[in-house]
Amino acid sequence: MKILSIQSAVAYGHVGNSAAVFPLQRIGVEVLPVYTVNFSNHTGYGAWRGPMISPDDVRDVITGIGERGVFPEIDVVLSGYQGGEGIAQVILEAVAQVKAANPAAVYACDPVMGNAKSGCFVAPAIPVLLRDRVIPAADIITPNQFELGYLTGTEPDTLESTLASADAARAMGPSTVLVTSVERPDREAGTIEMLVVTGEGAWIVQTPLLPMKANGSGDVTAALFTAHFVSSGDAADALARTVSSVYDLLELTYESGERELQLVEAQESYARPRMQFAPRRVR
């Protein structure tokens, strides 16, 4: 499998492509990373250095990849955090070019906007751009519950309302919706869930909720789920593998006491997930 991954990059720590690339490589995926920013560290520290890469420069890199004749071999275009407004157009152009060369290719979009605790942390134009232009072009989207609500103009909280919101998102274009960080009022205390909805059904999986904030965990989740699902076509199995790997990554990070994901140290959890959490079919 080949994945063209258009995301941010940091030198220190693991977010964007700096979180997604290694786990994908560890499960045998060839990744072509294209950077939208090249920062010293993620912005959660409040201070960082390095450039936001202009849309024209990002486009040039993608054009150069196309000139190598690689587009027919690309199975997935994956995008995450979009630093500026112009990047969306570049991504959509890349998706169109790859799909023209390989009609079986899919576009997986992680619509990074914010979360329930922090609200939106991207430029004001980005959420509107994602909702109106990017999401309709995607085959797979991986929003958290907050992002799902924004995209669909709904307020998902219960299982039923979250399923309805996912259906509304699927009606916008994507065939598969992975909802990360599902928090419903009637769930067991000290747990968190992840839900996947496709045309074939819906499955939810529950794990313990670790008392930590882990920048980049959503990027790992989107990357691994996309690769597993595109490879097997089995949404429940892809969900189980992804949750198993990400939980072990988070647990190792929590036990380490470090702020940054212990991405390299947890590599066996990607290559050989323990499959310790069983998804439950809910539709």
Give CA–CA dist 281/283, Å, rounded.
Answer: 6
Q: What are the C-alpha distances in Å from 123 to residues 17, 83, 134, 254?
A: 20, 8, 15, 30
At 256, list the tokens.
């380490």
pLDDT in tens, 106-146: 999 999 887 656 666 666 778 888 899 999 999 999 999 99
As a dihedral over the C-alpha atoms of residue 206, residue 117, residue 184, residue 246, rounded to 10 degrees, the angle is -10
Task: Output b/e per residue, 74-101; b: 16+ Cβ within 10 A.
Answer: bbbbbbbbbbbebbbebbbebbebbbee
pLDDT in tens, 39-69: 999 998 999 999 999 999 999 999 999 999 9
Give CA–CA dist 239/222, Å, rounded.
Answer: 10
pLDDT band, residue 82 (cuts 50/70/90): confident
At 134, list the tokens.
């990017």
- Residue 74, classed as helix, strand or coil, is coil
Domains of the chain listed by start with CATH number: 2-281 (3.40.1190.20)
| C-beta separation of 142 from 218 below 8 A | yes
